[in-house]
Amino acid sequence: MAHPTTSAAAQTDAFATDVYGGLTQSPQKTLPSKYLYDAVGSALFEVITHLPEYGLTRADERLIKQHVPDVLAALGRVDTVVELGSGNGRKTRWVLEACAQRQPCTYYPIEISATALAQCSQALSDIVGVKVRGIEREYLPGLQQMVSLRQGDAPMLVLFLGSTIGNFPRPEAQRFLAEVRKVMRPGDGLLLGTDLVKPKQALVDAYDDPLGVTAAFNLNLLVRMNSELGANFDLRRFQHEARFNVDTSAIEMHIRSCVQQSVHIPGAGLTVEFQAGETIWTEISRKYLAADVLAMGAWAGFTSAGQWLDEDWPFAETLLVAA
């Protein structure tokens, strides 16, 4: 069961505030990528992870399954596992089963999506020796809440998988890792997944699949504004766009306006003017070199206890230990 969280009204107010702030930005309209993950968005993303063009999740899973023993051996006795952005918890099962074979442990998935949190809790509650205690909050507030509940002196393992760190621009990613380090004790571990640089076309295909699932995932953000904020977005007048930014080594997801148009968003107190071809930037997914990950970890106050790379889909799993 999830710990108490903010009310639905407060969440809608926060959404409205961010929509107002993001869609009045000039010259580039933006919306935070966290709002892609409502119930429909979370379900669509789960489908994306199974697409042949999107090899990231399978690489993540392969590395976790193969190297969980190495992670636990490096940290010693782990009785607390925390996951930032758990999704449905599919990849985490291998970690928890390996932990529970050593001693009972408590798992704290931290998610902003109530749907994903419920699915995760249900899916992993059958593991003998594991207690699941979901926290429906954003990453850092959720981690701080969990640490306030922490007991004992065994090392804690924090999971940040799936290359979610790539959703931050590089300076913000470094600051985020430093904030995570502040609430960890020396000896605690952070298992960090990062997607690595690969050929441009492979990256574009992964974020603009022929079936159109990623397009539906992105455009669902407009559906959400229609539903929750009373907006009148006509999805036939917008299209999904994935582009690779060479300068930042990042895939960017945009929603492009096909025509000049006005959109009313009563719940945000806003009318937005779009020029033909103008976009809303909804997500960044930065791709790293393996050495970049080690450098970011060192800057944030971690030492490296292991780094494992997938050969089929260049991806890194790095174990950082709080110094």
Which two tokens mark 242? 């994935």
Neighbours of 311 (CB within 10 A): 8
Task: Write down the mean pLDDT value for the chain.
Answer: 94
Higher pLDDT, 11 or 7: 11
Domain map (residue ranges) of the chain: 8-51+209-286, 56-198+289-322
Residues 6+ apart with CB under 8 A from 300: 174, 177, 178, 180, 181, 320
- Measured distance CA(144)–CA(180) in Å, rounded: 9
At 296-316, the pLDDT tens digits run 999 999 999 999 999 899 999
CA geometry: angle at 318 spanning 312 and 322, to 5°?
175
pLDDT at 221 over 70: yes
State whether residue 146 is helix, strand or coil. Answer: helix
Report the candidate in 110, 120, 131, 121 with the shortest Cα–Cα distance to residue 183: 110
Peptide bond just before 27 cis, omega within 30 deg: yes
At 109-148, the pLDDT tens digits run 999 888 888 889 899 999 999 999 999 999 999 999 999 8
DSSP string, 138-170: -HHHHHHHHHHT--SSSPEEEEE-TTGGGGS-H
pLDDT at 1 over 50: no
Stated as kind and residue range, the H or E segment containing 176 is helix 170-182
- Measured distance CA(288)–CA(214) in Å, rounded: 22
Yes or no: domain 56-198+289-322 corresponds to CATH 3.40.50.620:
no
Mean pLDDT, residues 163-172: 93
Question: What pLDDT is stored for residue 3 in this prediction?
Answer: 44
State whether residue 82 is helix, strand or coil. Answer: strand
| Length in residues, the chain | 323
pTM: 0.91
Residues in a beta bridge with 196: 288
At 58-69, the pLDDT tens digits run 999 999 999 999
Q: Helices (H) and strands (E) in the chain — how many of each?
A: 10, 14
Mean pLDDT, residues 14-21: 97
β-pairing, 105-111 with 80-84? parallel
Question: What pLDDT is stored for residue 2 in this prediction?
Answer: 41
- Measured distance CA(139)–CA(144) in Å, rounded: 9
Question: What pLDDT is stored for residue 6 in this prediction?
Answer: 52
210 φ/ψ angles, rounded to the nearest 5 degrees? -60, -30
